[in-house]
Amino acid sequence: MLLTGKQPAEQLYVGIDERVKSAAAVPGLFVLYDPEDKPAGWYLRSIQRAGEAHGIPVYARPLSEGTELLSELLGGMIVLSKTKSPIRIPDELDVDGTGKDSFSTLYKGGFKTYPRTTPCTAEACVRLLDYYGIPVSGKHAVILGRSLTVGRPLGMLLLDRNATVTLCHSKTENLPEICRQADILVCATGREGLVTKDCMRPGQTLINVGGDAAEEEAAAVVENLCPFKGGVGALTTAVLLQHVVDLTE
């Protein structure tokens, strides 16, 4: 089965649209971005398009201009940059798991609905599995990448859903062998060509978050494939806007 992000995103937008319609004041989203970071630019445009389509104002400003004059801001804030930014996002504006309270929430787990501070890509991966009815409990999830934005939070979310989780990184030995053990294989390193057919086996669900996996090979081997293009990206944007709307409550 091909797992595309568009359908679960559309399902999420139905609820978002209803809540925007009935909200007394719709919060906006402030995006500070690095103009040199190409993927950040793509993500920003996707957020702007979705914000426009669903009545959520999106304000964008290059990182170099800083956060001054934002005191009147009502809404969420995110920073899109590959390099570490000195800007700290206050917990009350956090919609992507970068505020200081978000980690303890994530580590405690046990929530019935996703907190507004859940890192959006990680949440999108679990929502994708749920939407397509892929079982998680008791399954072995292998995640390639241990970043604070994708790998680690996803590990916590899947652990909370009773998966057995293995987090891999650049020092992991025997990567293909570990990958083949996965029921759910999440590729989030951004290293194109890292995950070839020797990492795959029939019956697996593979989510190609970072474009690491050879998709033609995957299509011939695995049971379910979430592609890089048309995959979790669209759902990540919807999750982000859902978190912004959560600020109204």
Binding site for ligand NAP (CB under 6 A): 39, 121, 144-147, 149-151, 168-172, 175, 188-191, 194, 209-211, 232-233, 236
Whether 142 and 183 have beta carbons less than 8 Å apart is answered as no
Pairing state between β 184-187 and 75-80: unpaired
In angstroms, give the least distance from the CB of 25 to ligand NAP: 29
Cβ distance to ligand NAP smaller for residue 5 or 75: 5
User: Strand (E) positions, 147-242?
Assistant: 164-168, 184-187, 205-208, 224-226
Q: How far is the CB of 232 from ligand NAP (least distance, A)?
A: 5
- Residue 9 vs 26, nearer CB to ligand NAP: 9
| Nearer Cβ to ligand NAP (204/208) | 208
Nearer to ligand NAP, 31 or 194 (CB): 194
> Least distance (Å) from ligand NAP to the CB of residue 21?
27
| Smallest gap from residue 133 Cβ to ligand NAP (A) | 21
CB 17 within 8 A of CB 54: yes
- Work out how close the CB of 219 gets to ligand NAP at its nearest, in angstroms, rounded to a whole number: 18
Residue nearest to ligand NAP (CB): 190
Closest CA to 97 of 33, 17, 151, 140: 151
Residue 201 near residue 180, CB atoms below 8 Å: yes
Going by the DSSP 8-state scheme, the letter that residue 27 receives in this structure is: -
Cβ count within 10 A of residue 14: 8
CB of 23 to ligand NAP, least distance (A): 26
Name which of 176, 186, 169 is nearest 129 in CA terms.
Answer: 186
Which CB sits closer to ligand NAP, 82 or 92?
A: 82
Nearer to ligand NAP, 142 or 245 (CB): 142
How far, in Å, are 106, 149, 235 from residue 229 at the CA level?
A: 28, 19, 12
Q: What is d(CA 124, CA 141) in angstroms, rounded to the nearest whole number?
A: 15
Q: How far is the CB of 177 from ligand NAP (least distance, A)?
A: 13
DSSP alpha helices (H): ranges in 67-139?
Answer: 102-108, 120-131
Q: Is the CB of 26 or the CB of 99 nearer to ligand NAP?
A: 99
Alpha carbon distances (Å) from 151 to 80, 102, 157, 166 = 17, 15, 10, 10
